[in-house]
Every structure is written in structure tokens, then in C-alpha cells.
Amino acid sequence: MKVVSVVGARPQFVKLAPVAQALDGAGHEHVIVHTGQHYDAAMSDVFFADLRIPAPDVHLAVGSGSHGVQTGAMLAAIEPVLADAAPDWVLVYGDTNSTLAGAVAAVKLHLPVAHLEAGLRSFNRLMPEEHNRVLTDHAADLLLAPTEVAMNHLANEGLAARSELVGDVMTDVCLQVRDAVAGDAPPAGLDRGGYLVATIHRAENTDDPDRLRAVVAALEALPVPVLLLAHPRLRARCEQHGIELGTGAVVVADPLPYPAMVGAVVGSRGVVTDSGGLQKEAFLLGRPCTTLRTETEWPETLADGWNALLPGLGGLDEVAVRPAPTAARGIPYGSGDAASRTVEALARRVVGE
């Protein structure tokens, strides 16, 4: 079986790592196409190095732009690569503009396309990621879902026949990395168990200057140190609107490589974020998470208060430092074998075999 993976943004590299390993382990041919959506070393190269992902076979160097410009440039650049490779499957990951571009390029060429992390929904049609998820799921031939909830969403949209539950590949990686970093010292000289890890990068928190100012002020006012791992988008918007980062409780730092990020969460007392992946990682690592959004694509994390949605910011100073719940967390994201189940599902459904 020949598979082309289309990736481009940070969370996709994490998802690619166990899939690349499983494809290689089963002796399949794998071509990695990097769109170049993320291009800073800290957002791209370190993930390939740390997670031992083979270097991309093709790098399209598309870079940043408005949604239409960026997605359109990717679409045009991916098409000849896929036509030339003629794989059994084009595999797209998650919900970024790279996902949508890869899916559209593949269907237009009548190449079978599989969507990994299918069926997630926020039901918030203002989110670019929601457009990307819905459009990709409806274009794809095989929908590889991480959870039962995702399977239900796909069934509700008439897509059950194309859907298969494989578990969450980010869980595979998180569980593999967790034990290796458990003893690492917390970053920036922070005390173990005494700080919060924060990330903010979603358009709904960064693009409106009043909202951005309120989010940064709420983090500054927290009663414990806040390690703010600043995504380039956050830094760019703060600079644009004259918002200073790194005052009050906030200790500002660059985005961390994946193992260091897992280590930082393990060493923390909790997480404040608007990232989807980090909500889940906090849950898997047993740290309470506060999510600065109105909804989550990972509702399993809300069970027993492990994750709390706090879009209004009111009471953040208490909610963010609440103790970890004592309730057991269950295993809604699978037990770490989602990548091998993904590869089995692809191999079973190769058209013409």
C-alpha cells in the first residue's frame, strides 16, 4: 500500500509521528508532503527531530496568508504532487487549512482520501477549523474517528458507512512521551506543582484587540506563575495592538518542543488554554484544565471537572488553580494503539485489492 500524508501545521506533526512509525513497521510505502503552513523551526523542524519523523519528501513552502490565499496556494501546489505519486490513499490530519487543501486536491484527482481525526465538531461555524472539519469529512472516502462522540456526529450527518473508530493518535504519542519526561525539572526555574501552563492562539481570542487584552490581563492577575508558551500568532497580535507580554504572573516563553511541553504539563498544577490538543493532553496527564472557549471538540475531558470551559474569564483566578479532581478518568481516547488501527483500516480498504 502507498500512502501520501499531507501535513503542514504543528499539531499535524504530532499526529503524523505514530502513523509514520506504524506505516513503516508494517512495510508500507509512505510519502510525506509538508505544505509549509508552519515554517518557524520551533513550530515545525523540532517536531520532526524530537518525534523521529522522517524528513518530508516534498516541502511546498506555502507559508502564511489569509484563509483563501493560503488554502488556494496549497491546493494548487499539492495537486501535481498527488497526481505524480498516485497513492492508494491520501491521508489528511485534523482541521487546519492544510487538511482541507489536501482533501480537495485528492478528491478532484479521484484519489481515495482518508481523514484522520474525523467527526470532531464544535458546532461553532465562526471557527475556521470547523469549516475545515465539516468540508473534509464530507469530501473524504474514509473517516477515521478518535471517539464514540465523533462517530455519533458522523452518523448524524449521514456518514456512518464511511466511518471507523480507531482511537486518538495524539494519545499514542502522549502516553509514549509521558514516562520519558516524568522526572524532568520544570522549565524557567519554576517550582514543581506550583505553576500553570498557558497557551493562547485561536482567532477568537487573538484577533479582537479588546478580547486579547482581557485574556492577557486575566492571565497576569492569576495567583501563581503562568508559563505562557507564546505561539507566533499571539506574539504578532500583541505587538500589533501594543499589548505587553510577560508582566504580572505571566512568564513568557517560546513554544516548546513536544516532549518538553509534556514535561511542562506534568510538572504543573494545571493548564489554561484554547488549544484542542492541550486540553486532551492535560486530561491524559492528570492535570486540571481551564479552556478559554465557549465549547470543546473533546467533551470527554469535561467529565468530573477535569476540564472547565470559561469563555467569560470571570473567576479565572479561582477556577484555574482548582485542585485536580479525584475521580478516575477512564480511557475515552483509546489505549495508545490508534496509529496501528489506522494503518490496518487503510490497508483493509485499499480499492482494487
Question: Residue 66: how many CB atoms within 10 A of its CB?
Answer: 8
**Which ranges of 26-119 would DSSP assign to H, the alpha helix?**
45-50, 67-85, 97-108
In a 10 Å sphere around its CB, with 0-12 CB exposed, 13-18 middle and 19+ buried, how is residue 339 labelled?
A: buried
- Cα–Cα distance measured from residue 312 to residue 272, given in angstroms and rounded to the nearest whole number: 13
- Cα–Cα distance measured from residue 320 to residue 299, given in angstroms and rounded to the nearest whole number: 18
- Cα–Cα distance measured from residue 294 to residue 1, given in angstroms and rounded to the nearest whole number: 42
- Which CB, 1 or 140, lies closer to ligand UD1? 140
**Residues β-bridged to residue 290:** 272, 308
- Which CB, 23 or 229, lies closer to ligand UD1? 229
As measured in angstroms, the least distance from the Cβ of 85 to ligand UD1 is 23
Cell numbers describing residue 325: 479532581
Q: Long-range contacts made by residues 133-141, C-beta under 8 angstroms, separation at least 24?
A: 133/95, 133/99, 135/100, 135/103, 135/104, 136/92, 136/95, 136/99, 136/100, 136/103, 139/103, 139/104, 139/107, 139/113, 140/92, 140/103, 140/107, 140/113, 140/114, 140/115, 141/112, 141/113, 141/114
- Which CB, 15 or 269, lies closer to ligand UD1? 15
As measured in angstroms, the least distance from the Cβ of 262 to ligand UD1 is 16
| C-alpha distance from residue 59 to each of 7, 17, 19, 98, 257 (Å) | 10, 17, 19, 12, 21
Q: Catalytic annotation on 153?
A: no
- Which CB, 22 or 234, lies closer to ligand UD1? 234
- Cα–Cα distance measured from residue 264 to residue 197, given in angstroms and rounded to the nearest whole number: 7
User: Catalytic one among 59, 201, 231, 241?
Assistant: 201
Q: Which residues of this protein are in contact with ligand UD1, per CB under 6 A?
A: 9-11, 37-40, 43, 64, 95-97, 128-129, 201, 231-233, 236
As measured in angstroms, the least distance from the Cβ of 43 to ligand UD1 is 4
As measured in angstroms, the least distance from the Cβ of 52 to ligand UD1 is 21
- Which CB, 63 or 311, lies closer to ligand UD1? 63
- Which CB, 232 or 305, lies closer to ligand UD1? 232
- The residues that are catalytic are 201
